[in-house]
Amino acid sequence: MTQSHTMRVIEISKPGGPEVLVPAERAVPVPGAGEIVIRVAYAGVNRPDALQRAGSYAPPPGASDLPGLEASGVVVALGAGVTRWRIGDEVCALLPGGGYAEYVATPAAHALPVPAGLGLRAAACLPETFFTVWTNVFDRGRLQAGERFLIHGGTSGIGTTAIQLAAARGARVFATAGSDDKCQACLDLGAERAINYRNEDFVAAMRAEGGADLILDMVGGDYLPRNVKALADDGRLVQIAFLSGPSVELNFAQVMVRRLTITGSTLRPRSVAAKAAIARALEAEVWPLLATGRVAPVIDSEFPLDEAAAAHARLETSAHIGKIVLKVSG
Ligand SMILES: NC(=O)c1ccc[n+]([C@@H]2O[C@H](COP(=O)([O-])OP(=O)(O)OC[C@H]3O[C@@H](n4cnc5c(N)ncnc54)[C@H](OP(=O)(O)O)[C@@H]3O)[C@@H](O)[C@H]2O)c1
């Protein structure tokens, strides 16, 4: 399968800042039943990797302790029962962990073909945000064409994906971001209105539009009561993170009187079968949009694997627009 039984990886040496990410050697993984091993070309960097590195987001039981939730590359080994893939196939895949490495194992059902014309670098930036946006915005949030959809963190990896997918499926997209340049990027991606939250109140902006039918939020904290105010009657709020904290005082009378729904989910602990179902929905509904170029990942910057610490430092400045990617091989 490989030239050597060891591989270069990036380990979290101890909980802390970006500097705790250090190069190391590990054994090349062996595929279990239903798994494939990928020789990694590129690995996507996501905010949950930084939370794991800081010690506030432990990997689920059985997952690799190495960071990295998505990668692209070439299939080099097949576990028992795998029929979908062949050795040599180019794929991108959602990972239980371990993407910051030359090789990674993952359930075969969590891999997808590299969309036509996209290439391995862009494909590495797809799985974590596209799985998350699909399941939270379209499954859980039930976004329909014509609805008003507010996305917080519009230029995050998640935000740039949500804006494009929602616009492509006919929703009216609104986004918040922390600078005028970031707001312009949201407009360029398909938002009809971008709100710089540093000098404009998103609640007033959305009330002026009649309220949001759906809000995707990663901020939490005092955004929770403000999101409730920004929703239209029968509106839905989907919470995917709490960058400003999970605890807040909220008057639930508005939830009852205006028939609001507050929900949320985390992708990583969901079952292999649940993630496989999301993969199949993406392949049917979204991969054609990627192949035509109607939707494309926004790539902020690329770092070599050994400079993963610098990639995390950039992520945590929040200066980036879209995704940060690590070049591993190729
Ligand atoms: N639930 C799930 O399954 C799931 C899956 C993947 C990711 N997530 C979560 O989704 C969020 C986005 O992930 P990502 O990888 O796309 O992140 P990202 O690219 O690092 O972007 C996060 C953005 O959030 C904005 N932000 C607003 N308030 C913030 C605060 N208090 N602290 C830090 N940033 C703040 C920043 O933009 P501004 O400068 O515009 O404020 C920042 O650029 C993360 O919180 C992540 O943990 C959840």
What does the pLDDT read at residue 3?
53
Atom of ligand 1 nearest to the CA of 161: 16
Residues 7-37: tens digit of each pLDDT: 999 999 999 999 999 999 999 999 999 999 9
Instruction: Calculate mean pLDDT across residues 230-255.
Output: 96
What amino acid occupies position 119?
Answer: G
What does the pLDDT read at residue 24?
98
What does the pLDDT read at residue 30?
96
How far apart are the CA of 315 and the centre of ligand 1, in A? 9
How far apart are the CA of 154 and the centre of ligand 1, in A? 9
Find the residues whose C-beta lies inside 6 A of ligand 1.
Answer: 46-48, 51, 128, 132, 153, 155-158, 177-178, 182, 218-219, 240-241, 243-244, 265-267, 315, 318
Q: Max alpha carbon distance in the chain (Å)?
A: 64
Residues 271-326: tens digit of each pLDDT: 999 999 999 999 999 999 999 999 999 999 999 999 999 999 999 999 999 999 99
pLDDT at 71 over 90: yes
Q: To the nearest whole number, what is the mean pLDDT of the chain? A: 97
How far apart are the CA of 241 and the centre of ligand 1, in A? 7
pLDDT at 78 over 50: yes
The three-state (H, E, C) secondary structure of the chain, written as one string: CCCCCEEEEEEECCCCCHHHEEEEEEECCCCCCCEEEEEEEEEEECHHHHHHHHCCCCCCCCCCCCCCCEEEEEEEEECCCCCCCCCCCEEEEECCCCCCECEEEEEHHHEEECCCCCCHHHHCCCHHHHHHHHHHHHHHCCCCCCCEEEECCCCCHHHHHHHHHHHHCCCEEEEEECCHHHHHHHHHHCCCEEEECCCCCHHHHHHHCCCEEEEEECCCCCHHHHHHHHEEEEEEEEECCCCCCCCCCCCCHHHHHCCCEEEECCCCCCCHHHHHHHHHHHHHHCHHHHHHCCCCCCEEEEEEHHHHHHHHHHHHHCCCCCEEEEECCC
Map out the domains of the chain with their CATH numbers.
Answer: 6-126+297-327 (3.90.180.10), 130-264 (3.40.50.720)
More confident residue, 284 or 61: 284
In this structure, the residue with its CA closest to atom 20 of ligand 1 is: 47
In this structure, the residue with its CA closest to atom 44 of ligand 1 is: 47
Instruction: Calculate mean pLDDT across residues 239-252.
Output: 95
pLDDT at 2 over 70: no
pLDDT at 236 over 60: yes
The two three-digit tokens of residue 163, written as one number = 């804006």
Q: Are residues 43 and 66 in contact, defined by beta-carbon separation less than 8 angstroms?
A: no
Instruction: Calculate mean pLDDT across residues 181-188.
Output: 98
What does the pLDDT read at residue 330?
66
How far apart are the CA of 30 and the centre of ligand 1, in A? 33
Closest listed residue to residue 182, CA positions, set 320, 323, 317 = 320
